[in-house]
Amino acid sequence: MTNQTIPVTQPFLPELSEFVPYLEQIWDNRWLTNNGPFHQELEAKLAEYLGVEHVSLFNNATIALITALQAMRIHGEVITTPYSFVATTHSIMWNGLEPVFVDIDPTTFNIDPAKIEAAITPRTTAIMPVHCYSNPCDVEAIQKIADNYGLKVIYDAAHAFGVNYKGDSLLKWGDLSILSFHATKVFNTFEGGAVISPNAKTKQRIDCLKNFGIVDELTVTAPGINGKMSEINAAFGLVQLKHINIALRKRQVIDTQYRLSLADVKGITLYEQRDFSNSNYSYFPILVEDDYPLSRDDLYEKLKSNNILSRRYFYPLISNMPMYRCLPSAGIANLPQANALADKVICLPIYSDLTDEELSMIIQCISDVNLR
């Protein structure tokens, strides 16, 4: 037994010595931000790694989401999912737009395309779905609806680093996709994010908006923001990228062991990745059903008293938060699946340095209650 706390996630960090030469280079050339050499290199290397053409780095995904909506000139209402991190809906509000919540599909945890049409009004201009826990949305159905109604699709792909859909990058779907490189994500630059654009013209617009809307020395054409990634963050991303495949493989091993050990625990439902895509093992959500001996919150507390920090993620639902619950679409009756899921879910610790011993402790803690 160890008394050390097991966190729900832990950032992967390479040896510090590997990072130092990058810092020395920054000190040498004194280019700290504004599309510096490491920034350019990371954009190119990420495009190659992710199998996309146009990457715009950002200081975080929230600013990237806000800028993406601005770049697409979205107005009126935006259809989105309540089952996400608050930044998804916040980005809509920061553009002065109205979020409209649509319920999720209980098998994918993503926005249910079958329920989108009923939420469309003459004021709807966009859909902002989330690829929850790296599981792809039903991108084909969503695109069909968007095409029929002339809507833009902006994916919050914060969880979807390196995920493919039917053999090609998932990030190619929709008008734009946004990645997060926050410390808690599988690929991190301490803080960071990116917008994936389908063409050079769109990338140019995004790059302009993330730099105050500056076109050239004398021309500012839009009320852009400061969304630039610094050279330090970009350099760290380059170091991380060298290790990402190993880090993902380690997560995969943990994911497999969880699945083998928890599959037969009565009252625990596992979350299945869709067949035609690959997971990045960013989260390990389990659902605590009624026939499990403990309630979800009791299991959460039990894990905590054993120094295991799980996370009720996503709970509470965005639509139940004080600033959103008054919206017409936020009622519990409109979002039964999302509400049910938020009450059942726990994300278990998963990160590349999680040891076998720690993993066994977690599994033991969850399966033990069934023996009594």
Residues that bind ligand PLP (CB under 6 A): 60-62, 84-85, 87-88, 130, 156, 158-159, 180, 182, 193
Tokens encoding 162:
């390196």
Q: Which residues pair with 277 in a beta bridge?
A: 165
Q: Which among 176, 183, 194 has a CA at the least distance from the CA of 49?
A: 194
Between CA 29 and CA 227 the distance in angstroms is 22
User: HSE (CB half, 13 Å, CA atoms) of 95?
Assistant: 28
Between CA 18 and CA 25 the distance in angstroms is 13
| CB of 180 or CB of 310, closer to ligand PLP | 180
| CB of 84 or CB of 202, closer to ligand PLP | 84
Beta carbon of residue 101, minimum distance to ligand PLP (angstroms, whole number): 15
Tokens encoding 307:
């120094």
Beta carbon of residue 298, minimum distance to ligand PLP (angstroms, whole number): 26
| CB of 62 or CB of 319, closer to ligand PLP | 62
Between CA 17 and CA 37 the distance in angstroms is 20
| Residues with Cβ within 8 Å of residue 306, at least 6 apart in sequence | 361, 365
Q: Which among 233, 138, 152, 240 has a CA at the least distance from the CA of 194?
A: 233
Beta carbon of residue 337, minimum distance to ligand PLP (angstroms, whole number): 18
Beta carbon of residue 371, minimum distance to ligand PLP (angstroms, whole number): 35
Q: Are strands 124-128 and 152-156 parallel, antiparallel or unpaired?
A: parallel
Query: Could you tell me the sign of the dihedral formed by the alpha carbons of 191, 197, 200, 205, in that order?
Result: negative
Beta carbon of residue 291, minimum distance to ligand PLP (angstroms, whole number): 30
Between CA 128 and CA 72 the distance in angstroms is 12
User: HSE (CB half, 13 Å, CA atoms) of 130?
Assistant: 27
- Relative orientation angle of helices 231-262 and 356-367, to the nearest 10 degrees: 50
Q: Are strands 219-220 and 176-180 parallel, antiparallel or unpaired?
A: unpaired
Residue count of the chain:
372
| CB of 159 or CB of 203, closer to ligand PLP | 159
Beta carbon of residue 89, minimum distance to ligand PLP (angstroms, whole number): 10
Q: How many CB atoms lie within 10 A of CB 229?
A: 28
Beta carbon of residue 24, minimum distance to ligand PLP (angstroms, whole number): 27
Beta carbon of residue 87, minimum distance to ligand PLP (angstroms, whole number): 4
Beta carbon of residue 193, minimum distance to ligand PLP (angstroms, whole number): 5
Beta carbon of residue 113, minimum distance to ligand PLP (angstroms, whole number): 18
Contact between 49 and 57 (Cβ < 8 Å) = no
| CB of 38 or CB of 85, closer to ligand PLP | 85
Between CA 322 and CA 36 the distance in angstroms is 41
| CB of 194 or CB of 359, closer to ligand PLP | 194
